[in-house]
Structure 1
Amino acid sequence: MLEGHQLLGFGFFVIGVWHLFNHTKVHALGSNSKSHTSTLWFPTTISRYMELHFIMASCTIFIAMELFIAPIHHQPFDPDGTIPTTHLHNFEHSSMAMTFLLYAIFAIVLDAKRATAQHELTHLLAAVAFTQQFLLIHLHSRDHVGPEGQYHLLLQLLITVSLATTLMGIVMPKSFLVCFVRSVSIVFQGVWLMIMGFLLWTPGFQPKGCFMHLEESEEYVVRCSDDEALHRAVSLVNILFSFLVIAVTVFAMSFYLVMVWRYGGKVEYVSLVKEDHYREEDAFVKPKAPTVDVESNMDHVESQNKLTMQDQI
Structure 2
Amino acid sequence: MGTLVGHVAPGFAFFALGLWHLFNHIKLHALNPSSYTSLPWFPTSKFRYLELVLIMVCSSISISMELFIGPVAHQPFDPDGTIPSNHLHNFEHSAISMTFFVYAAFAVVLDMINGIHPNAKSGLTQLLGAVAFGQQLFLFHLHSADHMGVEGQYHLLLQSAIVVCLATSLMGIGYPKNFIVSFTRSLSILYQGLWLMVMGYMLWTPGMIPKGCFIHFEEGHQVVRCSSDEALHRAKSLVNIGFSWALIGVVAFAMSVYLVLVMFYGGKVEYATLEHHEDEKFELGDDDLEDVESQKGQRKLHGEPKSFIHMGKGYAIKDIER
Answer whether TM exceeds 0.5 for this pair.
Answer: yes
Aligned residue among 171, 191, 194 for 1:191: 194
1:78 aligns with 2:78: yes
- Alignment partners' CA distance in 1, 2:173 and 2:9: 29
Correspondence for 1:163: 166
Correspondence for 1:272: none
- Alignment partners' CA distance in 1, 2:79 and 2:111: 43
**2:200 counterpart letter in structure 1:** G
Q: Secondary structure at the match of 2:76?
A: coil
Contact 2:206 2:215 in 1 (8 A): yes
Moved over 4 A (4+): none
Shift of 1:219: 2.7
**2:53 counterpart letter in structure 1:** H
1:261 aligns with 2:258: no
Deviations along 1:91-130, one digit per CA (max 9) or x if unpaired, are 0000000000000000000000132221111011000000
Q: Secondary structure at the match of 1:3?
A: helix
After superposition, residues 157-306 of structure 1 pair within 5 angstroms as 157-215=160-218, 217-265=219-267
Q: Which of structures 1 and 2 has the bigger CA Rg?
A: 1
**2:257 counterpart letter in structure 1:** F
Correspondence for 1:310: none
- Alignment partners' CA distance in 2, 1:210 and 1:2: 17
TM-score, length-normalised on structure 1? 0.82
Correspondence for 1:104: 104
Aligned residue among 136, 144, 149 for 1:146: 149
Contact 2:4 2:204 in 1 (8 A): no
Shift of 1:203: 2.9
Shift of 1:204: 2.7
Return 5+ residue gaps in structure 2 as ranges: 272-322
- Alignment partners' CA distance in 1, 2:20 and 2:105: 19
Correspondence for 2:61: 61
- Alignment partners' CA distance in 2, 1:145 and 1:23: 38
**2:112 counterpart letter in structure 1:** A
Shift of 1:167: 0.4
TM-score, length-normalised on structure 2? 0.80
The aligned length equals 265
**2:54 counterpart letter in structure 1:** F
Correspondence for 2:296: none
- Alignment partners' CA distance in 2, 1:24 and 1:38: 10
- Alignment partners' CA distance in 1, 2:221 and 2:200: 15
Return 5+ residue gaps in structure 1 as ranges: 269-313
Deviations along 1:113-164, one digit per CA (max 9) or x if unpaired, are 1322211110110000000000000000011012111100011100000000
Contact 2:4 2:203 in 1 (8 A): no
- Alignment partners' CA distance in 1, 2:193 and 2:181: 19
Superposition CA RMSD, Å? 1.3
